[in-house]
Structure 1
Amino acid sequence: MKITILNENTVYRQGLFAEHGLSVLIEENDRRFLMDTGQSDVFLKNAETLGVDLTKLDGIILSHGHYDHCGGMEYLDGSGGMPPVYIQKSAFEKKYSGMEEDKRFIGIPDSHADWMAHVRYTKDLEEIAPGFWLIGKIPYRTDFEKRPAGFWIRDKKDGGLCWRADEMEDEQILAVSTKKGLCLFMGCSHRGVVNCILRAEEALPDIPVYSVFAGMHLGRAGEKQITGTIESLQKMNIPVLMPVHCTGKRAAGMMAAAFGDSCILPETGQVLEF
């Protein structure tokens, strides 16, 4: 397996750009999938600098409907040779973040009409290519991972507008089967990275988890959630952990200390091969 980080919150080498977002090219068994596109054309600029060809893809996977994972779609040419775009239907709901009256739009930009013809709505468990599964419907199982506060969906109701809490039902996991086991990829793990792993193990019980590449949404998490996450991951004994994006510096540092060489902290421009 080859993983090329086209965008992550941090960058480690000259000539590349980084932004709050995520975009990664995943290659295995002659299949090439792009997961997420960040919030702008940064992933395209970095791909060009790195000499990475994004014209020959088997598909684009959008982990959930937030701007920092889907915003770059508007910079791709949706008129011709775009590959299938795999996304949960609920990702197109009007998503906002904030508290009380201070809410800002964080959903998929309205320009998505340009690439809608290529969309393939995904199921709760779907094999999109041999050995490549998309997994949705992630339940809450742990006592320390709760729905993150401050995320909303704006609905039309009875001729007016109303707000409801965003349950992140659009979030999906990419699971890739390799000779060493399952390699899991998650955009933000809003429902909790441990809950996501448990869901993947439930969906594909015959293949052990080898690696987890994930935004773990621990940047603003409290002590209970961070320590609960680390303790649960230690019990799972996963050989390779790669916290990225919204994991947060504090949580990522604690994981690096807890897991040593088993924990990799990827940055924009890195190429990882297993």
Structure 2
Amino acid sequence: MKITVLMENSAQDGLIPEHGLSFYVEYRGGRYLLDAGECGAVVYNAAKLGVDLSKVGKAALSHGHYDHADGFNAFFAVNPSASVYARPRITDPEIWAEKEYIGVNMGMFCRHEKRFDLAEGPRDLAEGLHLIPDRVKHEQSLVAETSEGLVVLNSCCHAGVVKILTQLSEQFPGTPIRAVLGGFHLMGKEGVTTLCPTPEKVRSIAAALRDDLKVQDIYTGHCTGDPAYALLEEELGDRLHHLTAGAVYEFAD
């Protein structure tokens, strides 16, 4: 299994960063896309990285926020056929109680509505590759079974990374969690330089990932925020890795 980070808040030289996430996943001969960032620069980054988005067979949307969904407008221009698997409530206005609208661009959604496959999960994109909903009504994880254990991608973990992984451990009893990739939604309302929970809470999250769930590698960035990342790093050491556009991670299928 090979995962290429196409979009993230930070980027390697020559790539475009933006506040968003996008993962290109190669798994057992198939090619998949999870999220597409916010503005379409994912297409530019993919080309720079030698990723042919026209070959993606299936795509998925982790949840209904613009910084993960709106880049699909550009993806559809280069990929004429791949469906985007998402939960039905990604466009439900009842879930957007924010002062500022942060949901899916409805113009984009209406233009490409037939490209979205909306249904409640769990659903399989392929044998061993699952979309599994969590308690946030528009969010889902992409979960890959590998010979090393589960590799879990949940782009923002609004339900809480520990709760999400605990749920998955119950659904896959006896299977270790090899890695988790995504943002942990720990930044404050003022942005990635601020912290929402207390430092003690962040340290407890790290302890649960390390000691209770025994996650081998944690790859995070985006909405985790810089202060939370620094606290996680103190607790997790070399288990923790910073997501950035252009990074490539490989796991044995």
TM-score of the superposed pair, with normalisation by structure 1? 0.83
Q: Secondary structure at the match of 2:11?
A: coil
Identity %: 31
Partner residue of 2:76?
77
Greater gyration radius: 1
Report how far residue 79 of structure 1 moved. Answer: 10
CA contact (8 A) 2:203 2:235 kept: no
CA–CA distance in structure 2, aligned partners of residues 242 and 219 of structure 1: 16
Q: Secondary structure at the match of 2:44?
A: helix
> Per-residue displacement from partner, 1:232-272 (whole Å, max 9, x unpaired)?
11222111111121011111122222222211112111112
CA–CA distance in structure 1, aligned partners of residues 29 and 172 of structure 2: 22
Partner residue of 2:12?
12
Q: Secondary structure at the match of 1:55?
A: helix
When the two chains are superposed, the root-mean-square deviation of aligned CA atoms in Å is 1.7
CA–CA distance in structure 2, aligned partners of residues 113 and 78 of structure 1: 15
The runs of at least 4 aligned residues of structure 1 exceeding 6 Å deviation read none
- Aligned partner of 1:197 among 165, 172, 197: 165
Matching of residue 222 in structure 1 with residue 189 in structure 2: no
For residues 39 and 204 of structure 1, do their structure 2 counterparts lie closer, same or farther at Cα, with a shift above 3 Å needed? Answer: same
CA contact (8 A) 1:79 1:114 kept: no
Partner residue of 2:120?
123
Partner residue of 2:48?
49
Task: Within 5 Å, give how 1:1-274 maps onto structure 2.
Answer: 1-13=1-13, 15-77=14-76, 81-94=80-93, 96=96, 98=98, 103-110=99-106, 111-138=108-135, 168-220=136-188, 221-223=196-198, 224-235=200-211, 236-274=213-251
CA–CA distance in structure 2, aligned partners of residues 118 and 179 of structure 1: 32
CA–CA distance in structure 1, aligned partners of residues 127 and 176 of structure 2: 17
Report how far residue 78 of structure 1 moved. Answer: 6.3
CA contact (8 A) 2:57 2:82 kept: yes
CA–CA distance in structure 1, aligned partners of residues 158 and 220 of structure 2: 14
Higher helix share: 2
CA contact (8 A) 1:79 1:115 kept: no
> Per-residue displacement from partner, 1:141-160 (whole Å, max 9, x unpaired)?
xxxxxxxxxxxxxxxxxxxx
Q: Secondary structure at the match of 2:52?
A: coil
TM-score of the superposed pair, with normalisation by structure 2? 0.89
CA–CA distance in structure 1, aligned partners of residues 76 and 142 of structure 2: 24
Report how far residue 123 of structure 1 moved. Answer: 2.6
CA–CA distance in structure 1, aligned partners of residues 197 and 88 of structure 2: 31
In structure 2, list runs of 5 or more residues that go unmatched: 189-195
Partner residue of 2:191?
none
CA contact (8 A) 1:218 1:248 kept: yes
In structure 1, list runs of 5 or more residues that go unmatched: 139-167
CA–CA distance in structure 1, aligned partners of residues 205 and 127 of structure 2: 31
CA contact (8 A) 2:96 2:103 kept: yes
